Amino acid sequence: MKYGSLILEKKEYVYLKRILNISGYAEDFETQKSLQRLGEELKTAQIVNEDELPIDVIRFNSKIVVYSESGWEQAIQLVAPADKDAKQDKISILTPMGAALFGYSEGDTIEWDFPSGKQRIKIVAVIQDNSKKKIEVPI
């Protein structure tokens, strides 16, 4: 892991903790397991201000290219659950792939249990989409 632990921006961290707390209804065991692992990783994450977040860290609305050692490559955008759209390759943070990627950075390799089995994926590129709305956390 490039930075030693997950790195999250403060508002996104608060938002993510909230949606993880209410997502206990995940429809399948593998998804639930992925969300539990993400919750565990959040316990040791670095929480930083917006201006301290490295540009290559995956956050909400990041566009990502991932490569699997089994040979597939995919370009996706990681989004909040309400913004998911499979036709536009927008995946929710509440999916196994979304949970696996959030807070990691370009160049990192992750081993994760997906519904299709354990896989190693490499984060090839991370592009921030600054045109999208930022996550606003109501107080």
Q: What is the mean pLDDT of residues 78-97?
A: 93
Strand 90-92 relative to strand 7-9, pairing: unpaired
Query: Is the predicted pLDDT of residue 84 greater than 80, yes or no?
Result: yes
- The domain ranges of the chain are 7-127
Of 74-83, 98-107, 111-120, the range with the lowest mean pLDDT is 111-120
pLDDT attached to residue 126 = 97
CA dist 53 and 35 (Å) reads 23
Q: Tens digits of per-residue pLDDT, 30-65?
A: 788 888 889 899 999 999 999 999 999 999 999 999
pLDDT attached to residue 139 = 43
Query: Is the predicted pLDDT of residue 120 greater than 60, yes or no?
Result: yes
Confidence band for 138, pLDDT divided at 50, 70 and 90: very low
- Please state which architecture CATH assigns to domain 7-127: Roll (3.10)
Other CB atoms within 10 Å distance of the CB of residue 135:
16
* Average pLDDT score, the chain: 89
pTM as predicted: 0.88
Per-residue tokens: 82: 């309400």
Buried b (16+ CB within 10 A) or exposed e, 75-96: ebbbbbeebbeeeeebbbbbbb
